[in-house]
């Protein structure tokens, strides 16, 4: 942890506020978080659309890192005693420290709720395989226009564009994948599953359609089929945290099988942390739900045992 010394003049120039001698600096911490997160969101939005998933996760982490320390500093300004001529503030710059993580995670959590660019980058699957993308310029034109329409949440227009893309190139798997996503957004789950199945005919090991078929089955309340889809995915892509999170979510939220769900979501959490993924917070919340339900059943010891198996501490 580094200690920085600042003279009060710097603070007065940096913050607009009114005070008398002995006051503390007054500012809206929520507003500060929103303002700084806006810059982070713009940084995330600048990530190339064709970046691979690991690169996207790294870039997102970098965008947040660039503002996390400044946000930490801003929050700590709120406790400054203006009667002092010289002020010392301890700023945690070690990214592995709990203090640094606190401010990083606060910003990350805000972005998960309020930054559309972050949601899009995390949901966009760029695990390219044979036939994932088309080499046909006309098909790519329709596809890219469909992606733009999806970002604007105009799902019906996006579907029509993805249909044009696959008409030009019937082996365009990503077009079917994104078509399925749009159908799911419109609650047309059977059509979404049909689109994903078309993609799987082109690429039987496509992780994106398999994952989204599982989600569609969740919406259709066919939970056993959802679990089977996730299990098949786990065999294909065992380092994908979304698979284990989806499995855990299905077990915990719908099937009420908390031990199986907790084991799965702990696997997801460990991978999220390793990859520095913002979805780590979602896994934490699901672990919290499992704890609450297992506590009611008198199974706290089993809860702690499962966490220990995955080297996760509650402290």
pLDDT tens per residue, range 134-182: 889 999 999 999 999 998 999 999 999 999 999 999 999 999 999 999 9
Q: How many distinct structural domains can be found in the chain? A: 2
Q: Are residues 303 and 184 in the same domain?
A: yes
Q: Are residues 47 and 164 in the same domain?
A: no
Alpha-carbon distance of 111 to 118, in angstroms, equals 7
Phi and psi (nearest 5°) for 4? -115, 140
CATH number at 213 reads 1.25.40.10
Residue 258 lies in a domain: yes
Predicted confidence (pLDDT) per residue in 183-210, tens digit: 999 999 999 999 999 999 998 888 888 8
Q: Are residues 190 and 90 in the same domain?
A: no
Residue 129 lies in a domain: no
Mean pLDDT of 115-129: 68
Residue 131 lies in a domain: no
Q: Are residues 74 and 192 in the same domain?
A: no
Q: Are residues 214 and 237 in the same domain?
A: yes
In the chain, what percentage of residues exceed pLDDT 90?
43
Range of the domain at 38: 2-123
Q: Are residues 117 and 164 in the same domain?
A: no
pLDDT confidence of residue 52: 56
Sign of the Cα torsion 277, 281, 287, 290 reads: negative
Residue 17 lies in a domain: yes
Q: Are residues 119 and 141 in the same domain?
A: no
Residue 315 lies in a domain: no
Shortest CA distance to 56 belongs to which of 109, 100, 112, 120?
120
Residue 128 lies in a domain: no
Predicted confidence (pLDDT) per residue in 216-261, tens digit: 999 999 999 999 999 988 988 898 888 999 999 999 999 999 999 9
Q: Are residues 38 and 145 in the same domain?
A: no
Q: Tokens for 70, please give them.
A: 């400044």
pLDDT confidence of residue 128: 54
pLDDT band at 101 (very low <50, low <70, confident <90, very high): confident
Residue 151 lies in a domain: yes
Where residue 221 falls (left for φ over 0; alpha for ψ -120 to 50; beta otherwise) is left
39: which residues sit within 8 A by CB, 6+ positions away?
67
Q: Are residues 247 and 183 in the same domain?
A: yes
Q: Are residues 187 and 71 in the same domain?
A: no
Computed over its alpha carbons, how large is the radius of gyration of the chain?
23
Residue 314 lies in a domain: no
State the chain's mean pLDDT as an integer: 83
Residue at a domain's end among 75, 96, 123: 123
Q: Are residues 35 and 160 in the same domain?
A: no
Q: Are residues 226 and 114 in the same domain?
A: no
Residue at a domain's end among 123, 152, 185: 123
Residue at a domain's end among 98, 123, 148: 123
43 has a pLDDT exceeding 70? yes
């Amino acid at each position: 942890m580094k200690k920085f010394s600042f003279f009060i003049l710097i603070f007065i120039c940096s913050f607009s506020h009114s005070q008398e001698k002995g006051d503390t600096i007054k500012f809206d911490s929520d507003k500060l978080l929103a303002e700084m997160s806006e810059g982070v969101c713009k940084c995330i939005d600048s990530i190339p659309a064709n970046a691979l998933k690991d690169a996207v996760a790294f870039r997102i982490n970098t965008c947040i890192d660039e503002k996390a320390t400044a946000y930490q500093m801003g929050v700590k300004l709120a406790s400054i005693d203006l009667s002092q001529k010289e002020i010392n503030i301890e700023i945690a710059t070690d990214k592995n420290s709990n203090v640094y993580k606190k401010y990083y995670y606060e910003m990350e959590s805000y972005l998960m709720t309020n930054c559309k660019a972050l949601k899009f980058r995390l949901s966009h699957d760029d695990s390219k395989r044979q036939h994932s993308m088309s080499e046909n310029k006309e098909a790519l034109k329709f596809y890219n226009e469909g992606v733009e329409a999806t970002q604007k949440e105009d799902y019906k227009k996006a579907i029509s564009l993805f249909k044009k893309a696959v008409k030009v190139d019937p082996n365009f798997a990503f077009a079917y994948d994104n078509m399925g996503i749009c159908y799911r957004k419109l609650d047309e789950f059977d059509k979404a599953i049909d689109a994903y199945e078309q993609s799987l005919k082109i690429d039987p090991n496509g992780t994106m359609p398999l994952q989204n078929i599982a989600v569609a089955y969740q919406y259709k309340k066919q939970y056993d089929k959802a679990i089977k889809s996730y299990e098949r995915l786990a065999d294909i892509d065992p380092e994908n945290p979304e698979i284990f999170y989806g499995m855990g979510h299905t077990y915990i939220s719908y099937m009420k099988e908390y031990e199986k769900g907790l084991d799965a979501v702990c696997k997801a959490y460990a991978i999220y942390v390793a990859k520095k993924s913002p979805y780590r917070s979602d896994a934490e919340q699901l672990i919290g739900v499992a704890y609450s339900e297992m506590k009611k059943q008198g199974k706290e010891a089993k809860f702690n045992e499962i966490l220990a198996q995955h080297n996760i501490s509650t402290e």
